[in-house]
Amino acid sequence: MSDSTRRTPSASGPSRRGFLTAAGLTAAGAALAAVQPSAGATPVRRPAAGAYRVPVEDVRHTRTWMAWPDSTAIWGRGALAGIQADIALIARTVARYEPVIMCANPASAAKARSQCGTSVTVISSIPVDDCWMRDSGPVFRTDGAGGLDAVGLNFNGWGRKQAHARDALVAERIAAYTGVPFSHAEFVGEGGAIEQDGAGTLMATRSSLLNRNRNPGMTERTLTAEMCAAYGASKVIWFDGVYGQDITDDHVDATSRFLAPGEALVQMPLATDDDAYAKDARQQYRLLTESTTAAGGPMDVTRLQGPDYERIRSTDPDFLASYANYYLCNDAVICAHFGDSRADTAAKATLARLYPDRTIEQLDIDRLGTGGGGIHCVTQQQPAR
């Protein structure tokens, strides 16, 4: 039996990045109940031709945005240095392929520069609470004619589970720094909660977004329409997800990703895994194979085999071993390895087959994995116009 069964969250509290909720929380946020509507994909009207939309992530980038963590209240004194080392490693690796801007608080900017090196630009004019730029940063959109703008998803600390006063302003401040128009979406969410194919189709989990800790009283139909308006899409493929067992309420980007319009990838559990996340992954795979795109075409779904938790390096019960949480930058795929050599090698081979024109960089980011996140979680792309 895989160790992922042992890592199943107990009824007493959350797992996967769960220890972060011990600091900077509000009790109300942790106690909110979830709304659970019926299953299915929900189409809405198609956006007008030439409208802004969020492109698929394999487009060329102008730069990558990241954030430097420095809070011992969130991470604890023992874990913070390791998290910073992983963030610096990711930033230096991405910087070999495209520019990286690291947002750091003034008091920690010098340390960030020292660890990231001269290839990474560190700025101290956009203060941050934590490192999860995928969730707090702006979602950039293009119009196909040289236009670029940004939308903010009203980050609220994953349902008020963590201090986020500075992170709530990061999206708008980055948009101002880059000089692009900015608007707020009409819902609360995080970038890691929504995957887009750039051609009208989104996918997301209900547990994360259709949840009273983000969008109280909002129906699935209304939320679908607002997500599509923000992303320039016309259809959402909804998965049930996993409620209340990790700080994100089960972000889709740890399990399922879009490769291109009509093409998706799902990280699959071992056949012997039967915890909530394994069941969630199998449902995501099944629903994707049964779904069509916004244009009505079939969905081609690739399986990406996850590791055996008995064979990975980490023994931490909160560890997230997600190959699917990779980041695409110009000419490279930045992904993780976890110490299960067979699965690590197979995952790299799968990504090399899917992205034959890109270099596959596999990194040891185990400290970040103990925090319940991965490489995609801490990066945010700014697409070229």
Residues with a catalytic annotation lie at 377
Is the Cβ–Cβ distance between 215 and 209 less than 8 Å? yes
Is the Cβ–Cβ distance between 265 and 259 less than 8 Å? yes
Distance CA 280, CA 251 (A): 11
Going by their DSSP bridges, the two strands 263-268 and 256-260 should be labelled as antiparallel
The backbone region for 8, taken as left when phi is positive above 0, alpha when psi lies in -120 to 50, beta otherwise, is beta
Q: How far is CA 311 from the centre of its chain?
A: 25
Distance CA 302, CA 125 (A): 41
Beta bridge partners of 335: 362
Beta bridge partners of 81: none
Is the Cβ–Cβ distance between 157 and 189 less than 8 Å? no
Distance CA 8, CA 24 (A): 24
Q: How far is CA 325 from the centre of its chain?
A: 7
* DSSP string over 85-152: HHHHHHHHHHTTTS-EEEE--GGGHHHHHHHH-TTSEEESSS--SSS-HHHHS-EEEE-SSS-EEEEE
The backbone region for 16, taken as left when phi is positive above 0, alpha when psi lies in -120 to 50, beta otherwise, is left
Is the Cβ–Cβ distance between 120 and 329 less than 8 Å? no
The backbone region for 217, taken as left when phi is positive above 0, alpha when psi lies in -120 to 50, beta otherwise, is left
Distance CA 190, CA 130 (A): 14
Question: Whose CA is closest to 264, among 334, 202, 329, 321?
Answer: 202
